[in-house]
Amino acid sequence: MKASIKIPFSFLLLAGALMLPQLTAAGEISGPAPDFTLKSRGGENLKLSEFRGEVVMINFWASWCAPCRQEMPLLDQLYNRYSPMGFTILGINVEEDSAQAEKLLKEIPVSFPILYDTGNTVTELYKVMAMPSTVMVDRDGNMRYLHLGYLPGYEVEYEAQIRELIKE
Amino acid sequence: MAPRAARAGAVAAISASQCGGRNPLPRLARRAMAILLVLLLGLMPLLAAVLPEDRSDALYHAYKGGGLEVNGPSILVRKQVGKSSSLSANYYVDSITSATIDVITAASPYTEKRTEKSVGVDYVFNKSIMSTGYTNSIENDFDAQSAFFNISQNMFGDLTTVSLGYARGWDVITKTGDPDFKEKANRQSYSLGITQVLTKNLLMAFNFQTITDEGFLNNPYRSVRYLDPTSASGYSFEPEVYPRTRTSNAAALRAIYYLPYRASVRGEYRYFSDDWGIRAFNAGVGYTHPIGGRWLLDFKYRYYDQSGADFYSDLFPYAQAQNYLARDKEMSSYSNQTIGFGVSYQIFPKGLRFIDKGSINLKYDYLMFEYDDFRNITKTGYAPGEEPLYEFTASVTQLFFSIWY
Amino acid sequence: MIRLAARTILLTMTVFALGGCGIKPWVKPYERHILADPIMNFSRDPVSAAYETHVYQARESARGAEGSQGGGCGCN
């Protein structure tokens, strides 16, 4: 008896269903960006509201997160290109122990401010759902875009959104 | 020779890719499963997953026991290509010197070489990871090809990973010394995997796989023995006859738990059954202990137990006693135990040019097999059917280098 | 019996999912540093895991359900 070549209907349906995109990994959001104060790598405390008037890209990252490591050099490039135009990146490290983060920053040095959220208060405040997560905040302090995760190619979207928010 | 080993290689290629068979589930259940799963998946936010890391490994493997020595290399290379794909390739060789109990009782010791090559692609697409691959295994009397397709999805805030797979296999079996002998066997496999993060320290996975084969499913060199008063030894041999189809199901549960001083403990249980009457289970535990930042020690224990096929017997009462006849010891009732130990040392802690990190690893497993109804007929001076039960031990050694880039 | 187990698990997952579409992940993405540790991987070295599976499959009648994927850092 020849083995059936037909793949059962159920299996095709399952496989097809797995490919349906539902919520996208990038979307528009709204509302004022919750304010926070965190200790920075330089030692001083930085407060989000101090950056009112600039476009702020808040990026939540961790040393154990491979896509975060992939993203870092690209974020640094964006920072160097657009910071003269009133743009900054706040790289919030979410680890309780900052030693691994420091080690990574020695391997992948960046110029933008790094903040340490060792108590995970800001990650709770922003309801971080994926690693990495990126929130774009406009010059008025409102959240405009949210990115969950990082895949190669996202940096193109980041750049488009930065340019849009800078022009406002 | 050893088509069984090569077929196992082909099946390993299929099952390693998590794939499936000839619809053993009743139609209504399948439809229900499909509709419910579609609803399930349709309502969940889907986030992307991460491609496997870029790495290359060079392994030397050596098996020795039960009159069999098999050794050779296995080279695995994986690299991300472009933005969304990862390519991998494997080159594997078994150099075989065989004087096992089956060989010395029916033929003479032989040497042989089996070469297996595989390629695979993983692709991140619309928040899914799709994987596909092809494997080809060649030895002088056995040629096996297999291909698989797998799709994997993270759900529930990335706490759950669901994976579905399908694979096909095609074997061509020939026989040394018999140029007219050429048979085929085909295989289909479906598999389902669900991995669940239970707490930040505990991970659990469930796997289910169903495999269907059809065609020539036994080893052409194996024979069964039957009582024969006309023979000097009291028994004679005739060829094995196996059914031309086989359907099997396996379900496994695995868990890994993190210990606070940085170590992990893991457990595994798998249950297997097929329509040849074989019921088997294996259970195992493992413990991984890091020392400092650069050493890892692994310890493992595994127990396996199977009950034999319905048509298996060590000694049939007369010739052609049944429609199907088997005396292959892999079809008998037996158990085995494994104790294993491994050491891993991280080299290149600060990287080296394009290399991010590397490791050198040594693993040693000691296997003990005890058969319940397969007898050692090399032992003379016993009446047929009263020879001692067969048992043997084997050492399995692996030495490998890995680099990440 | 195995088929029944597989079906039950799928149905349970489905009911669970439908009943709790808004389930909040109880392990936050930023708490996953332990799960991202290589010692928490089901198969840390695929080349070795594949070889070990082959050693058993060549000698045992049981086959299937050998691999597990998932866990890990849960990034993206």
Contact C75 A65 (CB under 8 A): yes
Helix (H) or strand (E) holding A11: helix A9-18
Question: Is residue B315 pLDDT above 50, yes or no?
Answer: yes
Q: Phi/psi class of residue B277: alpha, beta or left (left: φ > 0; alpha: ψ in -120 to 50)?
A: left
Question: Is residue A126 pLDDT above 70, yes or no?
Answer: yes
CA distances for C23 relative to A131, B22, C11, C20, C26, angstroms:
18, 36, 17, 5, 8
Least reliable range by pLDDT among B297-311, B377-391, C12-26? C12-26
Question: Is residue A12 pLDDT above 80, yes or no?
Answer: no
Residue B108 φ/ψ, nearest 5 degrees: -130, 155
Question: Is residue B6 pLDDT above 80, yes or no?
Answer: no
Describe the crossing of helices A66-82 and A154-167 by its angle, rounded to 10 degrees: 30
Q: A133-165: per-residue pLDDT in tens?
A: 999 999 999 999 999 888 888 899 999 999 999
Neighbours of chain B (3+ CB pairs under 8 A): A, C
Asked if the structure places residue A32 within a domain, the reply is yes
Least reliable range by pLDDT among B52-66, B82-96, B234-248, C61-75? C61-75
More reliable by pLDDT, C76 or B117: B117
* Confidence at residue C19, expressed as pLDDT on a 0 to 100 scale: 40
With cut-offs at 50, 70 and 90, classify the pLDDT of residue B5.
very low
Instruction: Check: CB of residue B14 under 8 Å from CB of residue B148.
Output: yes
Contacts of B380 (CB under 8 A, 6+ apart): none
CA–CA gap between residue A13 and residue B30 (Å, rounded):
11
* Confidence at residue A21, expressed as pLDDT on a 0 to 100 scale: 44
One-letter amino acid for residue B48 of the chain: A
B239 prior amide bond cis, ω within 30: no
Asked if the structure places residue A44 within a domain, the reply is yes
In chain B, the domains with their CATH numbers are 3-404 (2.40.160)
Any idea what the CATH number is for the domain that residue A49 is in? 3.40.30.10
Instruction: Check: CB of residue B15 under 8 Å from CB of residue C67.
Output: yes
Percent over 90 (pLDDT), chain A: 64
Least reliable range by pLDDT among B13-17, B35-39, B354-358, B384-388? B13-17
* Confidence at residue B124, expressed as pLDDT on a 0 to 100 scale: 86
A19-47 b/e (C-beta count within 10 Å ≥ 16 → b): eeeeeebbeeeeeebeebebeebeeeebe
Q: C8-52: per-residue pLDDT in tens?
A: 666 555 554 444 445 677 888 778 889 989 999 999 999 999 999
* Confidence at residue C7, expressed as pLDDT on a 0 to 100 scale: 63
Maximum distance among all Cα pairs of chain C, rounded to whole angstroms: 47
One-letter amino acid for residue C11 of the chain: L
Residue B98 φ/ψ, nearest 5 degrees: -120, 125
| DSSP tally for chain A: helices H, then strands E | 5, 8
Structural domain total, chain A: 1
With cut-offs at 50, 70 and 90, classify the pLDDT of residue B20.
very low
Percent over 70 (pLDDT), chain B: 87
- Summarize the confidence of residues B183-190 as an average pLDDT: 96
| Chain B neighbors of A66, CB-CB under 8 A | 50, 53
* Confidence at residue B27, expressed as pLDDT on a 0 to 100 scale: 53
- Summarize the confidence of residues B1-18 as an average pLDDT: 45
Asked if the structure places residue A9 within a domain, the reply is no
Judged by a CB distance cut-off of 8 A, whether residue B337 touches chain C is no
Asked if the structure places residue A16 within a domain, the reply is no
CA–CA gap between residue C39 and residue C54 (Å, rounded):
23
Query: Half-sphere exposure of residue A34, counting CA atoms within 13 Å on the CB side?
Result: 10
Tokens describing residue A85:
């135009």
**Alpha helices by DSSP H, A83-151:** 99-107, 121-125
B368-393 b/e (C-beta count within 10 Å ≥ 16 → b): ebebebbbebeeeeeebeebeebebe
Q: Phi/psi class of residue B32: alpha, beta or left (left: φ > 0; alpha: ψ in -120 to 50)?
A: alpha
Judged by a CB distance cut-off of 8 A, whether residue A128 touches chain C is yes
CA–CA gap between residue B240 and residue B200 (Å, rounded):
52
Tokens describing residue B170:
């095609």
* Confidence at residue B9, expressed as pLDDT on a 0 to 100 scale: 46
* Confidence at residue C49, expressed as pLDDT on a 0 to 100 scale: 95
Facing B37 at nearest CB: one of A17, A66, A107: A17
Could you identify the residue written with the tokens 């975060």? A68
Judged by a CB distance cut-off of 8 A, whether residue C71 touches chain A is no
One DSSP character per residue, B154-167 reads EETTTTEEEEEEEE
More reliable by pLDDT, B29 or B69: B69
With cut-offs at 50, 70 and 90, classify the pLDDT of residue B28.
low
For testing the chain B interface, which of A6, A9, A10, A131 should be mutated: the one with the most B CBs within 10 Å?
A10
Q: B65-120: per-residue pLDDT in tens?
A: 999 999 999 999 999 998 889 999 999 999 999 989 988 887 788 899 999 999 99
ipTM: 0.89
CA–CA gap between residue A65 and residue A134 (Å, rounded):
14
How far does the CA of residue A73 sit from the closest CA of chain B (Å)? 16
Instruction: Check: CB of residue B180 under 8 Å from CB of residue B162.
Output: no
Question: Is residue B18 pLDDT above 60, yes or no?
Answer: no
Could you identify the residue written with the tokens 């189809």? B245
Q: A24-50: per-residue pLDDT in tens?
A: 457 889 899 999 999 999 899 999 999
Could you identify the residue written with the tokens 């050779």? B72
More reliable by pLDDT, B109 or B332: B332
Q: How many CB atoms lie under 10 A from the CB of residue B322?
A: 13
Tokens describing residue B270:
């798998």
Asked if the structure places residue A12 within a domain, the reply is no
Question: Is residue B45 pLDDT above 70, yes or no?
Answer: no
Asked if the structure places residue A120 within a domain, the reply is yes
Show the domain range for A142.
Answer: 24-167
Q: B236-283: per-residue pLDDT in tens?
A: 999 999 999 999 999 999 999 999 999 999 999 999 999 999 999 999
Residue B66 φ/ψ, nearest 5 degrees: 60, 30
CA–CA gap between residue B9 and residue B138 (Å, rounded):
10
* Confidence at residue A25, expressed as pLDDT on a 0 to 100 scale: 57
More reliable by pLDDT, B3 or A55: A55
For testing the chain A interface, which of B44, B127, B244 should be mutated: the one with the most A CBs within 10 Å?
B127
Asked if the structure places residue A2 within a domain, the reply is no
Query: Half-sphere exposure of residue A110, counting CA atoms within 13 Å on the CB side?
Result: 29
Q: What mean pLDDT is reported for chain B?
A: 88
Question: Is residue B144 pLDDT above 50, yes or no?
Answer: yes
For testing the chain A interface, which of B38, B125, B184 should be mutated: the one with the most A CBs within 10 Å?
B38
Instruction: Check: CB of residue A135 under 8 Å from CB of residue A36.
Output: no
Instruction: Check: CB of residue B364 under 8 Å from CB of residue B377.
Output: no
Model pTM score: 0.86
Contact C63 B15 (CB under 8 A): yes
